[in-house]
Amino acid sequence: MRDINQFTITEAVKKSFRTEEGSRFEFLLHKMLDHLHDFTRETNLTHDEWMRVLNFLYDCGKISTPERHEFILLSDVIGFSALVDMINTRGGATEGSNLGPFYLENAPTKELGADLAGEREGALVVVHGIVRHILGQPLPGAIVDTWQADGSGTYPIQEQERGQDKFDLRGIFKTDEQGRYYYTTVLPKPYTVPDDGPVGELLRAGKRHNWRAPHLHFMLRAEGMRTNVTEVFFENTQYIDNDAVFGVRKSLIGKVEPYKADKVGDLPLERKPDAMLHFDFVMAPAD
């Protein structure tokens, strides 16, 4: 190792890890070292730049708490999370999209047709559709777990000090024998990702905003199927073409239209809606 230089160091570092030959860990570690070292050589990284990166990561760690994970936010705004979502979408299945920080396990189970909006102001929309297998057949008994921001762009979990219930505006539904899900809610408004930390500084340095296009979150689960985490967006809404975390995909944009009972079918709804949003989900079999 004595005659190590900028061209031989990569192999030397790789060899220094006694990883299991042919393992996934070895593959990922070697690739990461290859790319990191190539990046360093290609950019002629200076000491100042190197330290700036390390201090940036240090600051991300410093501001992180169990509720606030600045590294995930970093991954989101540089399209790393979106890329992982894209790569892990199975052919024919609904495209995956950002989980975000506000998912809660054990949201309340709701009957189909229930209303999530309660007393909130704003147009009431029925969200409905069918959950299908990639081969086309409906999936009865599939779990549709949903959560969202409200008509002011806030998740109730962020407003607990003001007396909001963290489980508000979320629910777990089970599709009926025709694979249908349906419920009413209010449409969420655009929402900002936190910008009071190092990721915010990065956004400002790149003259970027921190707004997310309005969206509904979904996690779909079904026996023998691959769990699908995704989001549904709405046509003609703000930030649909420049979502801060690159969550929008063409296939995930739904259309909100005035409610017409004959278009929705005979759905027993707790409240009469003003608008409707039809969105079908497609699930792939588990690997």
Q: What is the binding site for Fe ion (CB under 5 A)?
A: 100
Cβ closest to ligand BEZ, residue 107 vs residue 269? 107
Cβ closest to Fe ion, residue 100 vs residue 129? 100
Cβ closest to ligand BEZ, residue 181 vs residue 246? 246
245 touches ligand BEZ (CB under 6 A): yes
Closest distance to ligand BEZ from the beta carbon of 212 (Å): 5
Total Cβ atoms within 10 A of residue 267: 18
Closest CA to 139 of 181, 92, 179, 174: 179
Kindly identify the residues of this chain, within the stretch 9-68, that bind ligand BEZ according to CB under 6 A.
none
Closest distance to Fe ion from the beta carbon of 185 (Å): 14
Residues 6+ apart with CB under 8 A from 12: 1, 4
From candidates 10, 70, 76, 214, binder to ligand BEZ by CB under 6 A: 76
DSSP 34-72: HHHHHHHHHHT--HHHHHHHHHHHHHHHHH--SS--HHH
Contact 275, 256 (CB under 8 A): yes
Cβ closest to ligand BEZ, residue 56 vs residue 103? 103
Closest CA to 13 of 44, 39, 34, 42: 34
Cβ closest to Fe ion, residue 222 vs residue 232? 232
From candidates 10, 89, 98, 237, binder to ligand BEZ by CB under 6 A: 98
Would you tell me which residues interact with ligand BEZ (CB under 6 A)?
Answer: 73, 76, 98, 100-102, 193, 212, 245
